[in-house]
């Protein structure tokens, strides 16, 4: 796909290469040298088997700080290891938390997307935004876009370009700005989707490396306060960068002769009616949930009448599933994009079918994380990593900053968030726990690094799709020019998002309901 999309509007054969071109070429070569994420994790599993066996034969053990227990490393390539793998290969996968939660969310969100509800909501929001507010509206909506999963990279940029053009603004600013805010703010948002389920499932497994981690209350909303507030700030920042930095650099806009005609963004009567009924149904659904949760003695209160933890937080995935399912059904039936049960089943099935590659990746990742836990290599690496950070003075928030920058660099080469979190989570979540930082903090830090740099790496397949969209307005556009325009978002998003996390850290603010910043570094029982 990359070669096909980049052959249009060829540059002169002897055009001099800029420093940016050389950097991008280096990133592309390094990324291309990496195996497919599934093969990467399969290789890691083989390496882990060999390393765990070698450490076991050397009688290596590790003592977790705060306990008197020494854990010996177990070798996978031993009689006990092979027996364990045979007995647990299927359970490792079946019980892997991200699998069920992500697929459940994908079914419901996919239904809402395929009925046209999500795109209609964006059209209704953007089409009414005043000209001066438009960049901020685009950026704010784009920072919620992980709700739509990767579809957001396809829907939001061209829609933003059309809205900008209809408002008399430069459509390329909307196109590039929309894409930049989708990617650089991808893990922010006050909306909850399959991405949150994916992250928290891996976080649960990574925290399980340490004894007593089961008592920690790790749920889907552990980063909600952080992501919701971040999306508002990043939306304002993104709007400023689009309006004051990106658009002025583009110069005056002149429509190309073969440019696609302007599309009417106004909603039809059926679409407006569909949004009205959907809003009413969701309001009723939310009211029912709140009535079952908020009053004293309500059935969805937690033990002793607590709000946190409670069945609402631990069961937020089925609650959100119900909300998206009702929204998709209501809108689809109203606008007649759903004409029968067969359409509903097909829409949900297609959404799950598109996740086949993810399921295979999670099968291998589940085995790697399970072997980390069983072999005690995960504990060993976590203790050594925590000791290393201590020895070089990288503790507290500076350790978080270093982790964010590491993830941001790795994200240039491993653009799959699930693959990258599965790779670094099992080491850094428990390592930070040993330094007194909660799994919620580790996950929040990962969100920043996993988002900010993804928009400028040639490993991002949607970057070349954006280039094809850009050439509708600028036929001679090149990849280097596109990335130079996107790059203006990377450092500001990275710096401001880190500053927001620093405020949460400095003031000890909870990152989500019941999700505090710190843990007692000597308390591995989650107290």
**What was the pLDDT predicted at 136?**
96
In the chain, what are the helix, strand and coil shares in percent, each to the nearest 5? 70, 0, 30
Q: What are phi and psi of 222, to 5 degrees?
A: -65, -15
518 vs 527, residue with greater confidence: 518
**What was the pLDDT predicted at 296?**
86
Residue 10 has pLDDT above 50, yes or no: no
Residue 370 has pLDDT above 70, yes or no: yes
Angle in degrees, CA 330, 335, 341, rounded to 5? 60
469 vs 325, residue with greater confidence: 325
Summarize the confidence of residues 417-421 as an average pLDDT.
87
Query: Are residues 524 and 211 in contact, defined by beta-carbon separation less than 8 angstroms?
Result: yes
Q: Locate tokens 């096909």: which residue?
A: 4
Query: Are residues 28 and 348 in contact, defined by beta-carbon separation less than 8 angstroms?
Result: no
424 Cβ contact partners less than 8 Å away, ≥ 6 residues apart: 406, 407, 410, 446
Query: Could you tell me whether strands 61-63 and 70-72 are parallel, antiparallel, or unpaired per DSSP bridges?
Result: antiparallel
Instruction: Identify the three-state secondary structure at position 512.
Output: strand
Confidence of residue 344 (pLDDT cuts 50, 70, 90): very high
Instruction: Identify the three-state secondary structure at position 515.
Output: strand
For the stretch 141-156, pLDDT in tens is 999 888 777 778 888 8
Q: Which of 187-201, 204-218, 385-399, 407-421 has the lowest mean pLDDT?
A: 204-218
Summarize the confidence of residues 155-159 as an average pLDDT.
85
Q: What are phi and psi of 512, to 5 degrees?
A: -165, 180
Residue 348 has pLDDT above 70, yes or no: yes
Length of the chain: 527
Residue 456 has pLDDT above 70, yes or no: yes
Summarize the confidence of residues 372-376 as an average pLDDT.
88
The Cα–Cα gap between 447 and 350 comes to 28
Confidence of residue 500 (pLDDT cuts 50, 70, 90): very high
In the chain, DSSP finds a helix count (H) and a strand count (E) of 23, 2
**What was the pLDDT predicted at 81?**
95
Q: Locate tokens 């793998």: which residue?
A: 85
109 vs 237, residue with greater confidence: 237
For the stretch 176-188, pLDDT in tens is 999 999 999 999 9
The Cα–Cα gap between 292 and 445 comes to 34
Residue 524 has pLDDT above 50, yes or no: no
* DSSP structure string for 22-79: HHHHHHHHHHHHSPPHHHHHHHHHHHHHHHHHHHHHTT-EEE-TT--PEEEPPPSSSH
**What was the pLDDT predicted at 31?**
56
Confidence of residue 197 (pLDDT cuts 50, 70, 90): confident
**What was the pLDDT predicted at 9?**
38
* DSSP structure string for 431-496: HHHHTTB-HHHHHHHHHHHHHHTTTS-TT-HHHHHHHHHHTTT-TT--HHHHHHHHHHHHHHHHHH
The Cα–Cα gap between 440 and 206 comes to 12
For the stretch 395-413, pLDDT in tens is 889 999 999 999 998 888 7
Summarize the confidence of residues 324-343 as an average pLDDT.
95
Q: Locate tokens 């309001």: which residue?
A: 283
Query: Are residues 376 and 74 in contact, defined by beta-carbon separation less than 8 angstroms?
Result: yes
Summarize the confidence of residues 105-120 as an average pLDDT.
88
Q: With pLDDT > 70 as the criterion, what percentage of the chain qualifies?
A: 89
Q: Which of 230-234, 259-263, 415-419, 441-445 has the lowest mean pLDDT?
A: 259-263
Residue 1 burial (10 A CB sphere; 0-12, 13-18, 19+): exposed
């Amino acid at each position: 796909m990359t070669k096909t999309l980049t052959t249009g509007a060829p540059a002169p054969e002897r055009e001099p290469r800029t420093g940016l071109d050389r950097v991008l070429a280096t990133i592309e070569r390094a990324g291309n040298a990496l195996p497919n994420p599934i093969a990467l994790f399969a290789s890691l599993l083989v390496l882990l088997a060999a390393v765990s066996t070698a450490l076991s034969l050397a009688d290596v053990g590790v003592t977790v700080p705060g306990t008197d227990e020494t854990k010996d490393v177990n070798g996978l390539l031993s009689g006990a290891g092979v027996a364990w793998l045979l007995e647990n290969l299927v359970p490792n996968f079946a019980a892997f938390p991200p699998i069920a939660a992500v697929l459940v969310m994908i079914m419901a969100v996919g239904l809402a997307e395929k009925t046209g509800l999500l795109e209609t909501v964006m059209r209704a929001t953007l089409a009414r935004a005043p000209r001066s507010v438009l960049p901020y509206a685009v950026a704010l909506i784009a920072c919620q876009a992980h709700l739509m999963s990767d579809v957001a990279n396809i829907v939001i940029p061209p829609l933003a370009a059309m809205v900008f053009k209809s408002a008399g603004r430069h459509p390329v600013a909307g196109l590039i700005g929309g894409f930049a805010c989708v990617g650089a703010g991808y893990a922010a948002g006050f909306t909850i989707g399959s991405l949150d389920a994916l992250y928290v499932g891996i976080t649960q497994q990574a925290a399980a490396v340490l004894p007593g981690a089961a008592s920690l209350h790790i749920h889907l909303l552990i980063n909600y306060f952080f992501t919701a507030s971040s999306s508002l700030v990043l939306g304002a920042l993104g709007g400023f960068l689009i309006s004051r930095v990106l658009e002025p650099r583009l110069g005056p806009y002149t429509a190309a002769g073969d440019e696609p005609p302007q599309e009417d963004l106004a909603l039809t009567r059926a679409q407006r009616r569909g949004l009205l009924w959907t809003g009413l149904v969701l309001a009723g659904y939310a009211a029912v949930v709140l009535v079952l949760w908020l009053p004293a003695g309500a059935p969805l209160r937690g033990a002793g009448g607590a709000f946190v933890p409670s069945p609402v937080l631990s069961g937020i995935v089925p609650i959100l599933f119900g909300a998206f399912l009702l929204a998709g059904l209501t809108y689809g039936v109203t606008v007649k994009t759903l004409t029968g049960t067969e359409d509903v089943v097909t829409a949900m099935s297609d959404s799950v079918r598109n996740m086949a590659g993810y399921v295979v990746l999670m099968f291998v990742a589940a085995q790697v994380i399970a072997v980390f836990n069983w072999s005690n290599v995960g504990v060993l690496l976590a203790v050594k990593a925590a000791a290393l950070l201590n020895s070089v003075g990288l503790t507290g928030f500076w350790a978080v900053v270093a982790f964010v920058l590491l993830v941001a660099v790795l994200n240039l080469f491993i653009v799959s968030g699930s693959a990258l979190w599965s790779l670094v989570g099992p080491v850094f979540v428990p390592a930070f726990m040993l330094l007194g930082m909660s799994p919620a903090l580790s996950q929040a830090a990962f969100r920043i690094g996993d988002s900010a740099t993804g928009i400028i790496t040639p490993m991002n397949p949607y970057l070349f799709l954006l280039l094809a969209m850009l050439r509708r307005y600028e036929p001679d556009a090149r990849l280097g020019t596109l990335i130079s325009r996107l790059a203006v978002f990377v450092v500001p998003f990275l710096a401001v998002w880190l500053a927001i996390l620093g405020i949460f850290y400095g003031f000890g603010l909870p990152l989500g309901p019941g999700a505090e910043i710190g843990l007692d570094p000597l308390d591995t029982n989650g107290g």
